[in-house]
Structure 1
Amino acid sequence: MLLTAALILLSPAHAQARGEVIELRLERTPAGVVLNAAWQMELPPLVESALYQGIAMHFVAEAQVVRPRWYWSDKTVAQAVRHLRLSYQPLTRRWRLTQSAAEREDAGRVGLSLGQNFDELGDALASLQRIAGWKIAEPSAVEDDVTYSVHFQFRLDTSQMPRPLQFGAVGRSGGNMSVSKRMSWTAPEIQP
């Protein structure tokens, strides 16, 4: 009985059932291609426990726009990355979510960073699990009435975790979390 329960919990199907992308929309504006996405995912117990102990967790959202070509390999026309950091302050009992285009402030790239505070973990997770108005491509990167393949992925950045947690997460189905979705999108003409 225990062996059966352990096999069910460790099966690949159960490991993949942690989340899904529920919305993925692209809009073409005069400013560029804008992505709106929403997803649902569970925090693994290992990650939630580390957060409550004051260890920040880093996440990465990636979007890629590819033009399929029959005569050559596909061409990546745009790629965008957004880094998110979720942390808990035990003294104030507040959650902080920070979004940035750069991986770390000392990465040499100067960029805008947006931080929000929350009283509850559920509110912080609701904000973490959606992106609105994210510019992923310049206006000139896509052509009118051409179909592109768009790939969106959101994942826990395990390389930013403390070493003991990295080793604990390896091989565990609950230590790694990622959701992704691919879609075809035809670029409409920009209306003046």
Structure 2
Amino acid sequence: MKSAGPDRDGRRGCLRLLAAAALLAAGGGHLPAAQAQAGPAAEVTQLKLERSDDGVFLSAAVRLDLSPPVLDVLDKGIAIHFVAEAELFRERWYWTDRQIGHAARHMRLAYQPLTRRWRLNVSPVPITAAIAGVTLNQNFDSLDEALDAVRRIGRLRIADASEVGEEGERYPVVFRFRLDTSQLPRPFQIGLVGQSDWNVAVERSVQLPLEKMQ
């Protein structure tokens, strides 16, 4: 008689995810009205555009506060993903601005129960299970330390040095930062519909002076 162990384990894992998603959705209904409307806070607090022989780099800092439901998912060992994206433009008086650079940084944050540490994977492309093992990663002793690393976007290479002029010239920059819920397990995505606690997204458009990288 064949054992049904693997299939049974798979069904149990799926049921656990569905149950957790249901609890998450139910928990959202008990939030105070003001908290449910406001959602978590995110704000771009710093942007800096620098040039070196290797290219043009953007550094950013984001104020980010995660809501209790998001922190609860992290505590359960489920990874969450953040995306930082930037566009660099050259102004044209006779037409719309021309995009001269674009870059993205994908970050996957997860708790490692065996080591009791937090791991942050970083990649220029979306992080899937297939590439997670070959991405740049850092380990942290606490969630606060890991989130500090998420909040600081250091020297994101956005364009070739040949695309810009001298230091002091100003260039339009659009910077976006968001929590990517599309990377969550499917049952959680269904349970998050309409929940403002997961709407972590901020965008800032500004003209920045080009500085020489120290």
TM-score > 0.5 by shorter chain = yes
Q: When the two structures are aligned, how many residues end up with a matched partner?
A: 180
Per the normalisation by structure 2, the TM-score is 0.74
The corresponding residue for 1:182 is 205
Q: Say whether the 8 Å CA contact 2:103–2:156 is kept in structure 1.
A: no
Secondary structure of the structure 2 residue equivalent to 1:143: coil
Which of 174, 197, 200 is equivalent to 1:151?
A: 174
The corresponding residue for 2:8 is none
The corresponding residue for 1:21 is 44
Which of 113, 118, 129 is equivalent to 2:151?
A: 129
Question: 160-169 or 52-61: which moved more?
Answer: 160-169
Secondary structure of the structure 1 residue equivalent to 2:94: coil
Asked whether 1:165 is paired with 2:199, we answer no
Q: Say whether the 8 Å CA contact 2:86–2:174 is kept in structure 1.
A: yes
Correspondences of 1:18-97 after superposition (within 5 Å) = 18-97=41-120
Alpha-carbon deviation of 1:170?
2.4
The corresponding residue for 2:162 is 140
Secondary structure of the structure 1 residue equivalent to 2:149: helix
Q: Distance in 2 between matches of 1:71 and 1:7?
A: 49
Secondary structure of the structure 2 residue equivalent to 1:174: helix
AA aligned opposite 2:86? A
Q: Distance in 2 between matches of 1:56 and 1:160?
A: 9
The CA RMSD over aligned residues, in Å, is 2.5
Alpha-carbon deviation of 1:54?
1.1
Identity of aligned residues (%): 45
Per the normalisation by structure 1, the TM-score is 0.82
Asked whether 1:119 is paired with 2:145, we answer no
Runs of 5+ consecutive residues of structure 1 not aligned to the other structure: none
The corresponding residue for 1:8 is 34
> Whose helix fraction is larger, Structure 1's or Structure 2's?
2
Alpha-carbon deviation of 1:91?
3.1
AA aligned opposite 1:40? R
AA aligned opposite 1:130? R
Runs of 5+ consecutive residues of structure 2 not aligned to the other structure: 1-30
Task: Provide, for residues 35-87 of structure 1, a one-character-per-residue CA deviation record: whole Å limited to 9, x for no partner.
Answer: 12111111122221111111111111101002232322221110001111000
AA aligned opposite 1:182? S
